[in-house]
Structure 1
Amino acid sequence: MTAKIVITFSIVVIAMAWLVYYWFFGVNLGYKISENPNDWAIFANYLSGTLTPVLTFSSIVLLIRSLRIQLAANNTLESEVKRQKKAEQLSVFESRLFKAIDTQNTSFKDLELVFDNGTHQVVQSAGNAVDALEECLQDLKGESSITVEDIEYTIIEDIDTQGHMFSIIRKFYVSVKLIDIQLTKERGFSKSDKKEYLELLINFSDFDLLRLIMIGMKYCQYPMAVSLAKNIQLENTLEELGYLDYLGEV
């Protein structure tokens, strides 16, 4: 719209310059068209002096308009490049995250915990192992002299003799850490993006596996378990999804 106005204004000014000259000298004074080159030179100077400032101003306005259009195009291009870069980063991240989730779920199927039923030891696997661990914890908590350190010792030394629980907690920690490292503000991601993928990690993880992770967060002092327990955004996400109450019950 600005360019059209400037062009129209310029045409009107040029026409007015011709008309004013014609009216003053041709109509008002009755002059005829001169055949003297000097008169035409004077006429040219008149047009030049009258129109040059106007045309110069119009050129500047159009140049500024052109620069604004170019700047808008550059901003659009820059935004598109950033969007594509973010999409590429997200694609690589999602591939790594889903592989990590598959790995931890596969490892959970191989989980074996050892329990002493009084006469002999019983090995429980996967979900049955988590159920048995919960029962064992309830029994331990029922003892008046038991401490959190005693429970941790029992889990590490007597129940998780093969380190399977430690391995699963470590894999879950790696997935959470991957989200923390990759989905940063510097990479163009927001807290809501991080929350979305934490929810995805939790919802795509086997529920029995999540129960095991939360038991580890509460009772084990593995560095990874402690880090998970102190992760505020993970805690908030677990609470929003209704899983955090489990920590108070177990």
Structure 2
Amino acid sequence: MKVNWYRFFAITAMVLVGLTYIVKFCGFGASTAEDFAVWGQFGDYMGGSLNPILSFISIMLLIKSLNLQNETNLDLRNELRENKRNEKLRSLGLLFFNMINSQKLLLDNFSFDFPNGMMPEKRGAAAIMHIEDGVHLLRQIGAKDTAITNFLAALDSTDQIYGILRAFYITVKMVTEKLSDENDFTANDRREHLLTLINFTDYAQFRLVLMAVQFLDVHGARYLKENKDFMATLKEVKSGINLY
């Protein structure tokens, strides 16, 4: 049990004063007027001596009380800040996983019809792999980035590649802005969400995003290239934006 030394000192002092009074004036022998005068002078002396000390102790107790109050207020502010932070994370989590689900829907609907019956319709990951085959073939014959950009533009007449890139870019932007340093988050918070985004994105779909970043000159591609958190996360997963 922790001893409250302030309380112990105060009670002890009161008991000693009471005992002194009882012993001197009530318990042993008669007291004369001169005794009372001497004790009155002694009381004045002790009061003058003890008052500064007691005032100092009162000030120290007041300072301690203020420090405890400040610590309590600081803990309360930190708790409120943490509650706001957790609420922001919960709000982001709903949007974040909805965006991941929307990416899966985009992949399921991703398809290409090839002219003149040259090849049956390709859907999903198979369509992306066919695009990659075309890019690799162009590279083998020495095609430059411009030629590959034109190839993708001709193939993607309905902007499906752009749609997949846009969904991914919006998710990265949402993580970057909502988990910013200004909102009391850290680079590690953004890193964890971006790693989750990459790991939850179908691998073929993720490769298509990187292909679009490498060859398409659109806002989403430029944003991802300039996003330091995203580029650092790509480096962590041993990837990059120049795969083709």
TM-score category, normalised to shorter length? 0.7 to 0.9
Q: Which residue of 1 aligns with 2:134?
A: 136
Q: Is the 8 A contact 1:218 1:247 kept in 2?
A: yes
In structure 1, stretches of 5+ residues that fail to align are none
Q: Which residue of 1 aligns with 2:228?
A: 232
Matches within 5 A, 1:1-250: 4-9=4-9, 32-34=30-32, 39=37, 42=41, 44-115=43-114, 120=118, 122-144=120-142, 146-157=143-154, 159-244=155-240, 247-248=242-243, 250=244
TM-score, normalised via structure 2 length: 0.84
Report the alpha carbon displacement of residue 161 of structure 1 after superposing the two structures with TM: 1.7
Report the alpha carbon displacement of residue 212 of structure 1 after superposing the two structures with TM: 0.8
- When residues 42 and 17 of structure 1 are mapped into structure 2, their CA distance, relative to the original with a 3 A threshold, is same
Q: How large is the Cα RMSD of the aligned pairs? A: 3.3
Q: Distance in 1 between matches of 2:113 and 2:222?
A: 23
Identity of aligned residues (%): 25
Report the alpha carbon displacement of residue 209 of structure 1 after superposing the two structures with TM: 0.8
Report the alpha carbon displacement of residue 53 of structure 1 after superposing the two structures with TM: 1.8
Q: Distance in 1 between matches of 2:36 and 2:16?
A: 23
Of 121-130 and 35-44, more deviation after overlay is shown by 35-44
Report the alpha carbon displacement of residue 183 of structure 1 after superposing the two structures with TM: 0.5
Give the letter for the 1:75 counterpart: L
TM-score, normalised via structure 1 length: 0.82
- Deviation sequence 1:112-168 (CA, Å, 0-9, x none): 13446x873643111000110111111111223x221121111112x1121111111
Report the alpha carbon displacement of residue 37 of structure 1 after superposing the two structures with TM: 11
Counterpart secondary structure, 2:121: strand
Q: Is the 8 A contact 1:114 1:161 kept in 2?
A: no
In structure 2, stretches of 5+ residues that fail to align are none
Q: Is the 8 A contact 1:6 1:61 kept in 2?
A: no
Give the letter for the 2:192 counterpart: E
Q: Distance in 2 between matches of 1:205 and 1:33?
A: 98
